Amino acid sequence: MPGSYPPAPPTLAGDILSIHRLLQSPAQIRRRLRTIRDLRFVSDKILTQRFRSQGGAVLYEMTEPIRNARDAGSIAPGSEYPRDVPGVGTAGLAAVQKWGQKVFLADEKIKRSVYAGDEVDRALRKVLATVVAQVDEVTLSVIASQVTATSSAIAPWDSTDAEIFRDLALAEAKILDLRQGYQPDTVLMSDTKYALAISDKKIALLRRRETTDNPIYGGELEMIGKYKVVTAPVSSLPSDDVWLFDSRQLGGMADETEVDPGYSVAELGVQVQTQRVADRDGWDLWGRRLTVPVVQEPGAAIRITFTEGS
């Protein structure tokens, strides 16, 4: 790892031993995973609830009504209250899937690489990035298939007539009109749409000027109004549209939390294990996540269309 195992020829054998001890230590692998900050699941920013799976599946309730079927009535003095049965949603069952990948890291690759001790980090990062991308792709595909509500943008976001903030507010109004208690708080967009939003002149005029969190001073556009901004590569999104949703109610990820022998568990359920392959003079490194995305309230999200220019 950078700075921990510098390549020093007089002590090169000792460096290799240190790397091998790292690969044999689940605790040290777990610490390395915590330092890889750029590997963030978009899935867990969108589906923020956490479900526990049992028997490899999770049972959940979808589109639970916030109101009962019967209206409240006027009650005469001494009369009994009208009875009703609490509304329930549609039952759903989702099976947990295991997503993972394995790579081989040769001793020669470790000791002869210009990256020296950083080679293990690089190998772990590539494995986890692949798992992250796959889980995100599956999650976003499920969301796209479940969320059917749309709201049309006033104008493409790359045009001078764009009204980005108003597009979001009008989309929120459609969700609120459902009267299901949804409170949209997050917007998902591609990196290209983020670039348009962060450089939009109308949004810039609404921001505080002389402050270090202004994007022009190196800050990021973390919020548009009350909406938290989440970005994802356009290749992961079902389409280059913008999605507005209530992150507390849309759904969650159902992870199988039981840890099998030999695995190190990082945040968000990522599991990693290493194994010495003696007859090949190297190591197998593999990572996995046992999970399934669950969309409980499709009405808590809406897709903003026509944000892309012709």
% of the chain surpassing 90 pLDDT: 36
- Top mean pLDDT of 11-25, 141-155, 205-219 is at 141-155
Looking at residues 242-247, what average pLDDT do you find? 96
Predicted pLDDT at 142:
92
Tell me the pairing of strands 227-232 and 186-190: parallel
Beta bridge partners of 105: 283
Q: Pick the residue with more confidence: 29 or 237?
A: 237
Q: Is 310 exposed, middle or buried (0-12, 13-18, 19+ CB in 10 A)?
A: exposed
Distance CA 67, CA 44 (A): 28
At the topology level of CATH, where does 9-64+89-305 sit? phage-related protein like fold (3.90.1690)
Predicted pLDDT at 66:
67
Q: Would you place residue 156 in the very low, low, confident or very high pLDDT band (cuts 50, 70, 90)?
A: very high
Locate 274 and state its tokens: 């290493």
Q: Using H for helix, E for strand and C for coil, what is the string for 260-303?
A: CCCCEECHHHCEEEEEEEHHHCEEEEEEEEEEEEEECCHHHEEE
DSSP-assigned states of every residue in the chain: -TTTS---GGGHHHHHHHHHHHHT-HHHHHHHHHH-TT---SHHHHS-EEEE-BTTEEEEEES--SS-SSPP----TTPPPPP------EEEEEE-EEEEEEEEEEHHHHHH-TTTTHHHHHHHHHHHHHHHHHHHHHHHHHHHHH---EEE-SS-TTSTT--HHHHHHHHHHHHHTT-S-----EEEEEHHHHHHHHT-HHHHHHS-SS-TTSGGGT----EETTEEEEEE-TTTSSSS-EEEE-TTTSEEEEE--PPPTT-EE-GGG-EEEEEEEGGGTEEEEEEEEEEEEEES-GGGEEEEE--S--
Going from the C-alpha of 120 to that of each of 104, 110, 127, 181, 264, the distances in angstroms are 11, 7, 11, 47, 15
Instruction: Say if CB 260 and CB 251 are below 8 A apart.
Output: no
pTM of structure: 0.76
Instruction: Say if CB 301 and CB 46 are below 8 A apart.
Output: no
Tell me the pairing of strands 242-245 and 301-305: antiparallel
Distance CA 126, CA 119 (A): 11
Of the given ranges (152-166, 169-183, 258-272, 277-291), which has the lowest mean pLDDT? Answer: 258-272
Measured in whole angstroms, how far is the alpha carbon of residue 81 from the centre of its chain?
46
Q: Would you place residue 2 in the very low, low, confident or very high pLDDT band (cuts 50, 70, 90)?
A: very low
User: Could you state, in order of their start, the residue ranges of all structural domains in the chain?
Assistant: 9-64+89-305
The residue among 27, 100, 1 whose CA lies nearest residue 262 is 27
Q: Pick the residue with more confidence: 310 or 56?
A: 56
Predicted pLDDT at 9:
33
Predicted pLDDT at 194:
93
Distance CA 158, CA 308 (A): 7
Q: Would you place residue 126 in the very low, low, confident or very high pLDDT band (cuts 50, 70, 90)?
A: confident
